[in-house]
């Protein structure tokens, strides 16, 4: 590796996805989504940073009320700008359920006091559902299952566009983005 302004270099070969039309607000609980591009870094002080297909759809929901049991996905569809449905999403085995689990966090307060917080977290990944670096529409349908057995359906439709990066960056630039 060669130096670049006092640090080592990283060769970028990545795709990120920017949401361009978020889902409208919902009346009930709906998981937050993101695209996991399987990013990897080959070295701590220089090397390659790359993403690898197929990509996953990540899902997170924080339940501070402790009333939710799980989120279950019953439909996953990825449609590209040319109208093609992604075969990875079409082959995905459904339904897929993610159960709630306790999550503890510790935060420092002024005076050295530490505060412990506990919430229920419902998270998981729908792996292998995006196979192309192109604009796409993500459709997710499912239900949020409450501890009392009731179910609240949800429907998300979000559009994403890819952002490619093939630049070379210094170690300092990469670290400042983390």
Residue 174 per-residue DSSP state: H
Residue of 75, 120, 122 whose CA lies nearest to 96: 75
From CA 86, how far away is CA 125, in angstroms rounded?
17
Tell me: pLDDT of 139 over 90: yes
What's the pTM value of the predicted model, to 2 decimals? 0.84
* Cα–Cα distance, 130 to 135 (Å, whole number): 11
pLDDT digits (tens, 9 = 90+) for 110-125: 777 888 888 899 999 9
Neighbours of 20 (CB within 10 A): 11
For residue 7, is pLDDT > 80? no
Asked if the model's pLDDT at residue 26 lies above 50, the reply is yes
């Amino acid at each position: 590796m060669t130096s670049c302004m006092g640090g080592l270099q990283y060769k970028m070969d990545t795709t990120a996805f920017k949401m361009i039309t978020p889902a409208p607000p919902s009346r009930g609980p709906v998981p937050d989504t993101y695209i996991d591009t399987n990013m990897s870094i080959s070295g701590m002080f220089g090397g390659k940073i790359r993403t690898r297909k197929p990509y996953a759809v990540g899902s997170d929901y924080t339940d501070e009320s402790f009333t939710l049991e799980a989120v279950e996905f019953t439909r996953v569809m990825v449609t590209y700008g040319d109208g093609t449905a992604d075969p990875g999403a079409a082959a995905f085995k459904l339904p897929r359920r993610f159960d709630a689990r306790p999550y503890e966090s510790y935060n420092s307060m002024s005076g050295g006091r530490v505060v412990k917080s506990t919430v229920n977290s419902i998270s998981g990944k729908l792996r292998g559902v995006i196979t192309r670096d192109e604009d796409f529409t993500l459709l997710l349908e499912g239900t949020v299952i409450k501890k009392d057995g009731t179910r609240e359906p949800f429907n998300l439709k979000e559009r994403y566009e890819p952002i490619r990066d093939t630049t070379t960056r210094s170690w300092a630039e990469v670290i400042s983005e983390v």
